[in-house]
Chain A
Amino acid sequence: MRDQHRRLRFSRREFLRGAGTTLVALVVPSVWARPGRAAGTDPVVVSIFLRGAADGLSLVVPHGDPDYAALRPTIKLSPGTTLDIGGFYALHPSLAPLQPLYQNGSLAILHAVGSPDPTRSHFAAQDTIETAALGAHGIATGWLNRYLATQSVTGSFAGVSIGSSKALALAGSAETISLVSLDTFQPGAFLSAERVVAWQAIFDAWPDQRLSQASDEMLAAAAVVSSVSRETSVTYPDTDFARSLRDVAALIKSPVGVRALTVDLNGFDHHTNANAQMPLVAGTLADALAAFQQDLGTHASRTLTLVMTEFGRTAAENGGGGADHGHGSVMFALGGGVHGGRVLTKNGQWPGLAPENLFEGRDLAVTTDFRDVFAEILRRHLGVADPSLILPGFAADPVREPGLWT
């Protein structure tokens, strides 16, 4: 009996080899991860989404606007408490770790930026930005995935979402994966070759091919993750967001071929009590970003980090010491050789907070379309000759780009 079993096992392996499958290879890290390869030199995009509609007027305060203070009697920030960046604007005090990056020119700020779509639904607006497709509910692919699809990249680690599910920005035909963290993804001996062979055969026979696709991703991820060094000399803050960025840096520094990554930071929906809430989340953001940028070291010049949110909040505060859903907000562009140390607005003009300048009479206007920001990143940082091919229904025009690299 025993001999018979051994023969069977052997025959199955032989059968698999005969079919040209790489299943067994998949669980051998040295084959998959090619550790001999040098760390990449390709450009990388890190997309950080501030979920909940971050208040751009508190993150980057327009002190020079004569209407600002009166609109926000209890949640305004006074000039004495904020960090001045050039007179008109000032950073929220909790963004202090970003000030040196602004001063040394590696951080650029975009203001009055957002989606021209007027929706104030978190979910519709997040989808619009991640798909970069206005009013096109049929489009279920993300802009970063469509970018990856145009590149000759191999392996699912080209696109990585840090989180329990894949960000829409990375969904699509190009292989990408999501991971909660490098630490929680350590399958070890559980992925024995025999189990893997059985799963693959079972999942391949199942009509819903998403299952076998997920299984392939799982095996690839297991192999790659085990090859990623998580050592760093930088001390990160003790937050989940910082741990996510530490993993992002580890992946960028490892030769696993990452090109686009996404991380979320929740907690920006400040309908009430913004004075207590904003310092916490702004601090979480800035502390982690500063550590991350330091950790990237020589990879900082090829890594552009773009921080965005779905929309801003009303110019006037509401009755609860917060602000409701608004329109224009801010973006931060860090590293990747941007010409930083500047707050970029359309034609250098601040749209203003006077009643007649507000969008629908209540919100900071959007004068820079987020797609013009994406277009510039695609063209200047990622080397895509015609960003229109990646931004559906959008005629990209370098003239409208905000000028992150000029």
Chain B
Amino acid sequence: MSESFIDVAAPEVQAPHPDEQFDQRRRPSIWSALRHGKGLVGVILVGAVVALGLLAPLLAPHAPTEQIAGANLVGPSGAHWFGTDEVNRDIFSRTLYGIRTDLIVVFLAVPIGASIGILVGLVSSWWSFTDVIAQRVFDLVLAFPTLILAIALTAFVGPGLRTVFFVIIAVELPVFGRLTRTSVRTVREMPYVEAAHVVGAGSLWQLRRHVLPNSMEPLLVQLAVSMSVAVFIEGAMSFLGLGVRPPEPSLGSLIRDGVRNMYDAPFFAVGPLAVVVVLVLGLLLVSQALAEARRA
């Protein structure tokens, strides 16, 4: 072995240097968790439901509100895969169109709520004064159980897709606001941020270059969780009659109709229920895979 330990001229060429045992594996980006195992299953499940929803006009044999003569509460058959409902509509077609409603909620309302929450969290956590106020407001909103908040908001704006939208934004905003704040607080105190601060980097620079990029991963995991929660909220609200108004279909309202006819036509709720389960399960698996990749 080399005798020139103390000679610093060429320490890097000495292979078995005691200080050389760093981890040579590049840490894979957390996205790669979605390429195998749980993550892959999740992506496939979510992808399948999304595809069904997007392709609804091509796949659906009937229009969602079309009433088919003579087909009243018929069971599943070649013509009507999920059967028909009490006003002679094709449940399969309604389910496909219903997915679209949920997709709007999942992929629009949640990201909007998340973005506003992240923005509020970022800005407020930088000063202790705004931080205290923001925390109190978040506390207040989170103090209401989600469904009670939903009921209260419905009283305010009336039932409908718009209300579901508001409820999800109202629920997700403090969740992301708080999470962002925790991340910011942690990352801000990291030595590399302090080092930038000492040489004169301003708040904006620190936020944009260090804090935000290093806070993304927990936020991403939460996004997947929140999306699955959004499906649940839509379902629960429609189930209670606070969500999408008939005759527009949504997964939740279809389940509600199914329950109403549970004793006459037990098949009714099965299709929409299965789609909801697949969507929630897929999103949950994605979030779990991301969370596990982050911890590794």
Are A and B physically bound partners? no
Interface residues of A (CB under 8 A from B): none
Interface residues of B (CB under 8 A from A): none
